[in-house]
Structure 1
């Protein structure tokens, strides 16, 4: 599990079940953190993740996006348009 305590008010957002399972293997559960994912598990892409987010509620906040080298900009752009400060890290 995680070797440090994750602040409950800092949510995770994941694209799909594989990412959710990776968090669980690290000790992150629905009881220990808020985990946001696409509402339709059959569609796991940036578009459906954006639909699951409370964009107005994120205005003025900071978001870290960990993504692949060739990831799309849709999520980052939607967050920025909602007034979110976005930092991206390629992993």
Structure 2
């Protein structure tokens, strides 16, 4: 069964596990609206993070997520939307 809520703390943990420490400031409460690139994460780090999210939360993210979810807040919103759809099924 998948978890029902995906948080910024979940994202931060998964990013650190998959990509390690960023070259920039990383994800914090004050940086959730900055683009991943500004935070020190490249597209490969975000791709790896999406793959880990899919496995851990038992959901499938559309390939367009990387193009749409450019900030941590946007990615959390996309994941939670997908989780809510999965919980309806």
Normalising by structure 1, we get a TM-score of 0.26
Could you say which structure has the higher strand fraction? 1
Structure with greater Cα Rg: 1
Could you say which structure has the higher helix fraction? 2
Considering Cα pairs closer than 8 Å and 6+ residues apart, tell me whether 1 or 2 has the greater RCO: 2
